[in-house]
Chain A
């Protein structure tokens, strides 16, 4: 089994379409939101 097959096997039954890629974008979106909130708070002072 290749690395890619091993990876995609985890997402075979995902309810989210293209789940093996979507979660990466979800993480980036939440991480961006968190860092933006932190920066907004810091630059208030």
Chain B
């Protein structure tokens, strides 16, 4: 006779393993995204665009304006990559149904696109432009704290002591990885408050996005929900952000039409695949292991970004990177080794 209790436990264990697997896919792909995400800055037309804007408005503003155009174009290829993803999964019909159901679900994805797109991404670039790249990375690493706290207050999501400890150890690892650079940048930053505001926007934006999207994922498919979220984000960049920058006198459209170079297009295609598939994995992990754990494991992207840049760009790692990487691994094991029955119900 089949033991129903044993079957139920086995199915539950599979669900948890799948949740961690998706969060790990997210971290790996996010880490690799830094390769096309970095290279594209060194290609035509962005080198010329940065130089032109910097000559009139300074380096900080040049970074933000160029980053907005790159992010908008990245959103285009993410949407295309997700069409492939959802096509392979046979989800187009579901997409139309979800988009039509605005009140129960797609409104949450629209809201997620606002927090995850303009708020978090723009904030991250502000932190990068006005303080520095390492500060932006550390600020972004704090987003699971906001996400886990909001999911706890809003959805009653349970965060066990072990999960909380894992999240904090991974964040400590990330801070150790980027920490040395932060001190130098904080001393050198000239328009500090804009950078700090950007850091706050990045941490809260992605944290809120996770909690808001999880609300929509109660009734919608993660693959479809994420695709709708990115279509909404693309609309925000193209209909609001880029025209606003053009009105302010920045040559965003002039340079947007100059991207049709084989290598630039190739970089955007690969940025679209890595970012799109990373994001969809992030969303897929939320219903399975909860927002706090999903975001905590996804935070390993810091370590994978460092590994990618060491392997492919030949960056020489400092000792802080090795200590930080070890902390990230310890934090992940603290979370992975949590008894799966502890996660039988994710919410109170």
Using a CB–CB distance below 8 Å, which chain A residues touch chain B? Answer: 3-4, 6-7, 9-16, 19, 22-24, 26-28, 30-31, 34-35, 37-39, 41-42
Contacts and interface: CB of A to CB of B under 8 A. Distances in A.
A19 B308 CA distance: 11
8 contacts: A7-B43, A10-B38, A10-B42, A11-B312, A14-B311, A23-B312, A30-B25, A30-B29
Interface string B1-27: 000000000000000001001000100
Q: B28, B261, B264, B314 — which one has the most chain A CB atoms within 10 A of its CB?
A: B314
B270 interface: yes
B15 to A, nearest CB: 10
Given A27-B270, A34-B277, A37-B21, A11 B313 contact: yes
Given A3-B261, A16-B312, A39 B32 contact: no
A13 B35 contact: no
A31 B85 CA distance: 10
B55 to A, nearest CB: 19
Secondary structure of the A side of the interface? helix
B39 A30 contact: no
Q: B47, B310, B311 — which one has the most chain A CB atoms within 10 A of its CB?
A: B311
Interface residues of B, number: 37
Contact of B42 (A9, A27, A30, A38): A9
Interface of B: 18, 21, 25, 28-29, 32, 35, 38-39, 42-44, 47, 84-85, 88-90, 223, 261-264, 270, 273-274, 277, 280-281, 284, 308, 310-315
Contact of B264 (A3, A24, A41): A3
Contact of B32 (A4, A16, A19, A30): A30
Contacts of B42: 6-7, 9-10
Given A4-B263, A6-B43, A42-B89, A19 B284 contact: no
A31 B311 contact: no
B313 A10 contact: yes
B325 to A, nearest CB: 16
Contacts of A30: 25, 28-29, 32, 277
Given A6-B44, A19-B314, 6 more contacts: A3-B264, A14-B314, A28-B273, A38-B89, A42-B89, A42-B90
Contacts of B223: 38
A39 B89 contact: yes
A33 B85 CA distance: 12
A7 B263 contact: yes
B284 to A, nearest CB: 7
A3 B311 contact: no
